[in-house]
Structure 1
Amino acid sequence: MGDIAYPFLTLDHSSVNAEPWECLDPEGWTKPVSGMAETWDYNSDLTVTRKIEINREIAAMQLDIPIGSLNLQLWVRAGTGSGNLPRIWLQPKVFDCWDESLQIDYFVRGEDLSNRLFLEATIVALPGEKSGTLSPSFPASKVWQDHLDIRLEGSEPRFPIELASFSRLFASRPEIHALWYLDWVPSEMSRDFSGSVRLLINKDHENFAQRFVSGDRYTLQVIMADVMSQIITSAIQLPEPFRTLEACEFGTVGSYALYWINLCFPGQRSETIMSSLEHTPSRFHASIQSNADIGEVS
């Protein structure tokens, strides 16, 4: 249950046996789900499955509710979004816990997902007529919960990343002491992202380069924010930016620019975003930076 001190009795591992989540492929084979869904893309739907066993006799004792009055439900829901918290919760599924063994199958469309998949399983107790003083008495009281946070490989743009010596690459140039350098051409929004955008990390700064290689969360967030800022800033200054970017095919620089604009400035017109860039640049860049957090990298 974690470290939360609930004001009523709850369940523990002796009454709830939850097996690990598994992913079901189209041919019916299952494989364990870890913190990374490898080789995933937006065209791939996901079916996750799991078995949870509830010992109703022990559960009744732990909740101080007569077994005949024990009424439990299992709620399963999925969330998605960038960062370390879900921005959107998808449709939940509810299972009545009359049997001691529950088989969960949860289908998620690939087009509904973004960056991460959060799986949450919660057992709630519905109030009964006869219960103890510390028994859960409010409707849908949470008596057990666990969750899994999965990073979706393929949800972040794939572009070449290279460790390079800037003292050699940019000798006698102002860029020589930069920590990183984004190599791209702003006018080429219709080109493939992975073939036209390259991120160079200055290996002359050994400590910084090591933090990047090790996947330090905040180092990656700052770098990703700069990448997003450069591309968004150039894209939003195009004539009729939304119409231009919407015409770009999936996987192009323009398609990523449009995705990031909608992520950082949802529902805003291009004129409003441009005004923010010109008149409130601090808020403009802070909005991008807050959406550049990809969470912990495992």
Structure 2
Amino acid sequence: MSRIAYPYLRPASSTVDAQPWRLLLGEEEVELPESLDGWDYNLDLRLRREVQVDGEAIREQCRLPAGAPLALSVVWYSTGSGLRGRSAFERLDGRGYATHHLDLTIAGAEVGGVLSIDTLLVVPEALAEVDALAPHRAGSMLWEHRSEIRLQGGASQFPIAVVDFGPSTLPDTAAWHLEVSGSMDSAAMGSLLLLVNERNKAVAEAFSRAGKPRQADSLVLSAVYADVARTMVEHALSREDFVDDANYGEETLGALMLDVFRQMFGARTIKDVRLRMQDSPSLMATEMQAAVGIFGGDS
């Protein structure tokens, strides 16, 4: 197993004791699971953890001055959206052993797929006149811990934005619109955006209650998801690089399109379905409607 050789001293792992991340789900607080079923992009992720740091021992072991600054930072990366960000940063001014509370919220609209959360202990600013082996550059990493969670569920698996279609180029009486951009190798969550027209109260309210929909909301959401699936398949079939023997990377637009295609058409080949769409587009539209089980029908 490969190990990273750092060009400076690092403290013993015993100088930092990090408790597991806790995930807040409404009034409930649970240890961060490996996967979160039933998640959708309307749900922001609220997390917290405690980290005990022995600042005095760290400075001594790394040959840093007694008052050298340290900081805890939390950064995340999402395979689904290709986005990354920093959600917490706390300077550690105390010199002794202290407990630090990290609380963060990650916007659900910015993530998808596997979410990696890195907790880091760093030197936050450049230091002058220190020992040659001491970590003196800004950002020097003294300790790190990675947690991961896979975000998955039956709700929409790409970003959703509720906007006013009036000022846009979209028809102001339309209820929703799926934007698809990028190549088949692009990050899936960065290539798809479902726009919901806030002027359509039935649809906008259905999405606001997507986590706990009423019967009427479920019917609206079923219609939207069916149309989204149809749009994605039609977009994929219109591209020459969407073929049976293609090898798309994990979490890419091509992989997502292929997954939707397989759910709708099973073992049928892309070539066969593309020809069927060219020969009989109306029948193909009906077959796709049946495949997605619109309004709760069997798929």
Normalised by the length of structure 2, the TM-score is 0.53
Q: 1:114 to 1:16 in 2, by over 3 A?
A: same
Are the aligned partners of 2:44 and 2:106 in contact in 1 as well (CA < 8 Å)? yes
Q: Which whole-Å CA distance do the structure 2 matches of 1:117 and 1:133 have between them?
A: 37
| Distance across 2 between alignment mates of 1:11 and 1:260 | 53
- Judging changes above 3 Å, is the alpha-carbon distance between structure 1 residues 8 and 288 closer, same or farther for their aligned structure 2 residues? closer
What code does the residue aligned with 1:105 have? D
Q: Is this contact kept in 1: 2:52–2:100, CA < 8 A?
A: yes
Which residue is 2:23 aligned to?
A: 23
Deviations 1:241-269 (A, max 9, x none): x99xx9996552332465689xxxxxxxx
For 1:75, the aligned partner's letter is S
Unpaired stretches in structure 2, ≥5 consecutive residues: 158-183, 185-192, 204-219, 257-299
Superposed displacement of residue 156, structure 1: 8.1
Compute the displacement of 1:104 (Å).
0.6
Aligned counterpart, 1:44: 43
> Structure 1 residues 22, 118: CA separation in 2 closer, same or farther (over 3 Å shift)?
same
Counterpart of 1:25, as a letter, is L
The residue that corresponds to 1:253 in the other structure is: 226
In the alignment of these two chains, the number of paired residues is 192
Q: Is the 8 A contact 2:70 2:92 kept in 1?
A: yes
1:112 to 88, 110, 116: 110
1:94 equivalent in structure 2: 89
Shift of 1:290: 6.6
Identity %: 21
Task: Specify the SS of the correspondent of 2:47.
Answer: strand
Q: Where does the alignment leave 5 or more consecutive residues of structure 1 unmatched?
A: 159-227, 229-241, 262-269, 294-298
Which whole-Å CA distance do the structure 1 matches of 2:42 and 2:83 have between them? 19
What residue identity is the alignment partner of 1:106?
L
Q: Alpha carbon RMSD of aligned pairs, Å?
A: 3.8
Give per-residue Cα distances to partners, 1:25-78, cap 9 Å, x unaligned. Answer: 332x4210021123323332220101111101110122111222x211111122
Contact 2:64 2:131 in 1 (8 A): yes
- Does the CA contact (< 8 Å) of 1:115 and 1:155 recur in 2? no
Compared CA separation, residues 276 and 256, structure 1 to 2 (3 A): closer
Q: Cα 1:96–1:283, aligned 2, differ >3 Å: closer, same or farther?
A: farther
The one-character-per-residue Cα deviations of 1:182-210 (angstroms, maximum 9, x if unpaired) are xxxxxxxxxxxxxxxxxxxxxxxxxxxxx
Change (3 A) 1:259 1:155: farther
Give the whole-Å Cα distance in 2 for the aligned partners of 1:283 and 1:23: 40
Q: Residue in 1 aligned with 2:76? A: 78
What's the counterpart of residue 35 of structure 1? 34
What is the distance in 2 between the residues matched to 1:22 and 1:57?
A: 27
2:216 is aligned to: none
CA contact (8 A) 2:71 2:91 kept: yes
Shift in Å, 1:152: 1.4
Q: Contact 2:38–2:154 (CA<8 Å) still a contact in 1?
A: no
* Structure 2: distance between partners of 1:289 and 1:150: 16
Q: Deviations over 1:129-186 (max 9, x none)?
A: 442221112121111111111011317889xxxxxxxxxxxxxxxxxxxxxxxxxxxx
* Residue matched to 1:11: 11
| Structure 1 residues 289 and 124: CA distance shift in structure 2, 3 A | closer
SS of the counterpart of 2:143? strand
Aligned counterparts of 2:244 and 2:19: Cα–Cα separation in 1: 45
1:260-279 C-alpha deviation (Å, 9 max, x unpaired)? 89xxxxxxxx6xx76741xx
Instruction: Please list the CA deviations of residues 217-240 of structure 1 after superposition, one character each: whole Å capped at 9, or x if unmatched.
Output: xxxxxxxxxxx9xxxxxxxxxxxx
